[in-house]
Amino acid sequence: MDQIELKYGVNPNQERATLSIESGTLPLSILNGRAGYINILDALLGWQLVSELKAATSMASAASFKHASPAGSAVGLALSEAERAMYFVPKTYDLSEQAAAFVRARGADRLSSFGDFIALSDCCDESTARLVSMEVSDGIIAPSYEPEALALLQQKRRGSYLVIQIDPLFVPPPTEQRTLFGMTLTQSRNTVVLDERVLAPVVTERTMLPDEAKLDLLVALNTLKYTQSNSVCYAARGQAIGVGAGQQSRIHCVRLGAEKADLWHLRQSERILSLPFKEGLSRNAKDNAIDQYLRGEHVGSDGSFTTAVEPLGDDERCSIIAAVDGVSLASDAFFPFRDNIDRAHLSGVRYIVQAGGSVRDSEVIEACNEYNMVMICNAIRLFMH
């Protein structure tokens, strides 16, 4: 049995933690640092997400994981000028496709990504590693590393940054097990492939699905496959912009994800991009100041800004969000009531994919028709526990 000793289990008092494989050798190796139990959970879930998203879209992909759910995920679309500004990427910095995917995944919910585990679908190049080195993160997993990139990552966290390399050709067995309270659960792995073939059938009066929406729906679906349920994912511009995870009710998932998606759009407003931050303020301090400012919790009372700034008024906030359109939304199971659609509409959702199968499907579909949305009911449930 091939085995790696871990620092500890989920909590420090849970000792004797290991990662092992019954036959053959482990498909991963630790290039730097020492792994913990949660690190491995995030790394393996993240790798599955990005490798499957890459297969579905043919684009370099990245994910930012925290506590066994993605805070963000994305493909490597080029960044706009506003996106570079909101993600603190200098205009002159040359981004590879993998680096762009990382920036997007890390930028979806920067507060939640603080101290995350990063997963990359492709080789970690120097362009990506330079950006990773600027962020507070616990570790990274990728199929390979350029020598210059590995050297940069090995300097992070005073040399303790966790760097994992995984064999991209590894195929896990068809069944998986989980031991809980002295008993073992066994099931078949969820091997459903989430590519364009699952974006059917369309059940609404409006049926046109542009290529941009198809890409966003694939990002959202592949993200949900590795998100703790119940969950929904809002997506735009090739990235998750609001993940509502681990809620017991569907509407709470929708509200949570919508709040995050709204904040993502607000961050691109001229008011936020022009905030007068003090020189030398860290990226994390800026993230916290922006979040508090958008939530109306303070207006520079912690000394983040060089001058006094006016609060973001309700009318201005509503005006920015009201102009949002073309957002995609995926759900890991059916919508039981139309209230989910009503809330999604307020955040600019135009395209939806869900499993369907509720006794109130007709009411949900009618709500989509009222808002001129496109909805797909593909009969695929994506629970992950």
Residues 255-300 pLDDT 10s: 999 999 999 999 999 989 999 999 889 888 999 999 988 888 766 5
- Mean pLDDT of all residues in the chain? 95
Position 35: which residue type? A
Nearest to 195 by CA among 222, 167, 169: 222
Question: How many Cβ atoms sit within 10 Å of the Cβ of residue 89?
Answer: 18
Summarize the confidence of residues 119-134 as an average pLDDT.
97
Nearest to 366 by CA among 236, 242, 203, 228: 203
Question: What pLDDT, on a 0 to 100 scale, did the predictor assign at position 335?
Answer: 97
Nearest to 271 by CA among 236, 227, 305: 305
Please report which helix (H) or strand (E) contains residue 349, including its range.
strand 349-354
Question: How many Cβ atoms sit within 10 Å of the Cβ of residue 314?
Answer: 9
The answer to whether the bond into 230 is cis (omega within 30° of 0) is yes
**Separation between Cα atoms, residue 33 and residue 122, nearest integer Å:** 21
| Residue range(s) occupied by CATH 3.40.140.20 in the chain | 2-166, 192-266+320-377
pLDDT-derived band at 307, boundaries 50, 70, 90: confident
**Separation between Cα atoms, residue 39 and residue 36, nearest integer Å:** 5
Do the Cβ atoms of 94 and 127 come closer than 8 Å? yes
Strands 327-331 and 349-354 come out as parallel
Nearest to 213 by CA among 353, 338, 335: 353
Do the Cβ atoms of 189 and 176 come closer than 8 Å? yes
CATH of 192-266+320-377, one of 3.30.930.10, 3.30.750.24, 3.40.140.20, 3.90.1150.10: 3.40.140.20
The answer to whether the bond into 201 is cis (omega within 30° of 0) is yes
**Separation between Cα atoms, residue 133 and residue 111, nearest integer Å:** 17
CATH of 2-166, one of 3.30.750.24, 3.60.40.10, 3.40.1390.10, 3.40.140.20: 3.40.140.20
Instruction: Detail the DSSP E strand segments found in 88-128.
Output: 116-120
| 349 has a pLDDT exceeding 90 | yes
**Separation between Cα atoms, residue 15 and residue 255, nearest integer Å:** 38
**Separation between Cα atoms, residue 270 and residue 140, nearest integer Å:** 33
| 315 has a pLDDT exceeding 70 | yes
**Separation between Cα atoms, residue 95 and residue 29, nearest integer Å:** 27
Give pTM, 2 decimals: 0.96
Q: Which residues are the active-site residues?
A: 66-67, 230, 385
Q: Could you tell me if residue 70 is left (phi over 0), alpha (psi between -120 and 50 degrees) or otherwise beta?
A: beta
